[in-house]
Structure 1
């Protein structure tokens, strides 16, 4: 029993994951931004999933908004209260229930919330987050990597999936990708996403910064994709060992920015979570074991 409970004071709500989870620690790492871009590249290779995005959203006009809404959703379900996370999940499920996508090849219509489509999006996100952050030097043991995949069955549940049907460890995640790989293709819609990620529209005054900073981040996210993704997109990438060195170097630089500065970015989910639960709950790799093996291969 905690001190608060002993005094009859309700404990603060730790949310769906809580400070003891791998997800809580890992999602506070700045390499998650590059991991998120990698997830978009990977997700776009599923023909029906990417058509669902293009046909049901203003992606062309509001791609930045879509990226930020996705980041906000991940932050909310990781660091928000249980109520906030459940509310965010219900909102996403409600949107998906109203949408459908037409397969231009067959003319068949599919619900956006078909389990196969939701599962692809979920697995591409989880695999990308884990792959980039771990490969960039974040300390995770193999057991902690498995725990991360298992923990994120919660995020799968929030978007409408049956957690029992979602990969629960890294081996199951690899098996899933091996199964779905023959369905992937670089469709015109995927190339549209690729074009946006390489050169997103910005104000003219921001073009130099986009080319200098965003261009490098997007290139690194693309380079960290599995080799079959490079082959589908038709653009080569550096050797895996070179990509790993660049990911590690980028991770070292970004992690030098004080977390209190990084976490000031709106909407400040992490700062609010620490304020709610106490300073001992600050996400930090130091709370995890430091014997993680960082793979050089790009297997997902």
Structure 2
């Protein structure tokens, strides 16, 4: 039996806390597994985001490390303490400031900090987390829980360069957002290559061992089929992905059973997280083990900005644009996807 006394507590509850619906949804085993995979697959259909990923080789270079650091960031925003969240937000904006280039189809410039690009990333993540929780987990939230979830989604958006007025506040508004985005989405050969690669990415962070090969391969197959089962038919067609309705039904029933079993064992979840994403484990350990923070308070973004003397990411981005106007960046993205986003020291 593991020693929960060895778990390092957070400084505070950050911006959500145990009464939040975000903790309820994002704390279910689907969050760090199929929800994460669905998120990164869905993101690839936005042409400007795809161009930045393609230019930096962020998906194909060091896939295990990229998986680890991206999942660490996502977990930190929901479960980290206020200082960690603020630091992560500032660092990510700085890293994204180097990622600019030309989208090849339109010939227009892309910018990783662009508010619309950040909104797409944020919403595909929060929607995927909720969708997989409902599909493979406990089921639909109550109307009150759902309203709270989307309000919390808007709160989390404050740590990106997003225009907060554009963030959906309900499932209906989320559907409207997807309808607005659908004519903009596209699938080139590069899109299909990245989608195919990411659908098989569940095995990337697992140990490369001949002994564990059957387990690794089974994980890859299960998560590939589960992720496809969550994608709408039009998105599958665009991405060149096929899967029968019968397979959708079978994999849904299978994954519901697997996640139900996983949810019953905190120690199993902790072990799998340490194996698949060691950087994320310290973020989630206190929450999974019920270890209270040193100061059990929930912050507001306004309180944090005043306390840590930081500005909104949108203001940080405006400063970056002003500096860039004086000294333009190179024509292509200068980041290779290996930056230690949360290596605070």
TM-score by shorter chain over 0.5: yes
Structure 2 gaps of 5+ residues are: 1-9, 298-345
Q: Which residue pairs with 1:214 in the alignment? A: 220
Q: Aligned-pair distance for 1:73?
A: 0.8
Given that 1:224 and 1:243 are in contact with CA atoms closer than 8 Å, whether structure 2 keeps it comes out as: no
- What does residue 151 of structure 1 align with? 152
The offset of 1:190, in angstroms, is 1.8
> Is structure 2 residue 259 aligned with structure 1 residue 245?
no
Cα displacement (A) at 1:250? 3.1
Deviation of the 1:145 alpha carbon = 2.4
Aligned residue among 292, 299, 304 for 1:276 = 292
Residues 12, 276 of structure 1: 8 Å contact kept: no
- Distance, in Å, in 2 between the alignment partners of 1:141 and 1:237 is 31
Q: Is 1:48–1:101's contact at 8 Å kept on the other side of the alignment?
A: no
Task: Confirm or deny: 8 A CA contact 2:262 2:269 kept in the other structure.
Answer: no
Are residues 247 and 199 of structure 1, via their aligned partners in 2, closer, same or farther at CA, if it must alter by over 3 Å? closer
TM superposition shift of 1:260: 3.2
What is the DSSP-based 3-state SS (H/G/I as helix, E as strand, rest coil) of the residue aligned with 1:59? coil
Q: Give the 5 Å matches for 1:1-300.
A: 13-32=12-31, 33-139=33-139, 140-200=141-201, 203=208, 205=210, 207-239=213-245, 241-242=249-250, 244-256=252-264, 258-264=265-271, 265=274, 266=278, 267-273=281-287, 274-277=290-293
Rounded to whole Å, the distance in 2 between the matches of 1:44 and 1:12 is 35
Task: Return the offset for 1:247.
Answer: 3.8
CA contact (8 A) 1:45 1:190 kept: yes
Are the equivalent residues in 2 in contact too, given 1:24–1:79 (CA < 8 A)? yes
Note closer, same or farther for the CA distance 1:142–1:244 as it changes in structure 2 (3 Å cut).
farther
Give the aligned CA root-mean-square deviation in angstroms. 2.5
- Matched position secondary structure for 1:101: strand
Q: TM-score, normalised by structure 2?
A: 0.71
What displacement does 1:34 show? 0.5
Using CA pairs under 8 Å that are at least 6 residues apart, name the structure with larger relative contact order, 1 or 2: 2
Instruction: Say whether the 8 Å CA contact 2:226–2:251 is kept in structure 1.
Output: yes
Give, in angstroms, the shift of residue 241 of structure 1: 4.6
C-alpha separation between the residues in 2 aligned to 1:111 and 1:232?
24
